[in-house]
Amino acid sequence: MLTRALRKKFLKIVLAGDQAVGKTSLRKRYLGESFEGKYMLTIGTEFSLKKLFLDGDEFSLQIWDLAGQQQFRHVRTLYYQGARGAIIVYDVTKRETFENIPRWISELITHNNNQLVPILIVANKIDLREIDQSPVITTEEGIAFAKTLEEEYTRKGFDTWFIYHETSAKTGCGVEEAITNFVSLIMSQRKMAS
């Protein structure tokens, strides 16, 4: 019996967002590691590799976890180049992390040869919505914002899309589904373009 040979592909995705929104915890959870409750500062960037099999293709998914602190902005610039997708994370209990999403998109475009790639906007820490006393960003607000961003960047001449997803790196809720679906959509977009 003959089997179709797998085609290997590399896919670089950057993971961006303000400090302490849970980027590293999301990445680790996606890679099958357990949640660590203490905050660990990412210095510069961290890199992970995961093999995926989608529709007969083998992917080496490269996830570049970028430090969110402002003092690392010059270091981050190198890692945007060649990105095929971006995951921008915010904390649903910290409005400033939500309001900073356009700054992250601008930084991505500037340092990725003025190209805008597909973007997954992740509302993280949804497990805190029920217990946190601070105001939270609702699901409806997050979805509406992603739609507004897509419309705005389409008007600016960018041919891309924004996807919204909610996760909890602590419980694992939505993490695998969000990233796997995002990779699948990127690959289907690339196939349509070729």
How much is the pLDDT for 148?
96
Q: How far apart are CA 24 and CA 60, in angstroms?
A: 19
Q: Which amino acid is at 160?
A: T
Q: pTM for the complete prediction?
A: 0.88
Note down pLDDT in tens along the chain; length 194 residues.
334 444 567 899 999 999 999 999 999 999 987 766 665 555 557 888 898 887 777 878 999 998 876 766 767 888 999 999 999 999 999 999 999 999 999 999 999 998 899 999 999 999 998 786 667 899 999 999 999 999 999 999 988 889 999 999 999 999 999 998 998 888 877 665 65
What 3-state DSSP class applies to 144? Answer: helix
Note the pLDDT tens digit of each residue in 80-94: 999 999 999 999 999
Contact 80, 14 (CB under 8 A): yes
How much is the pLDDT for 38?
60
Just give the CATH number of 7-193.
3.40.50.300
All structural domains of the chain with their residue ranges: 7-193
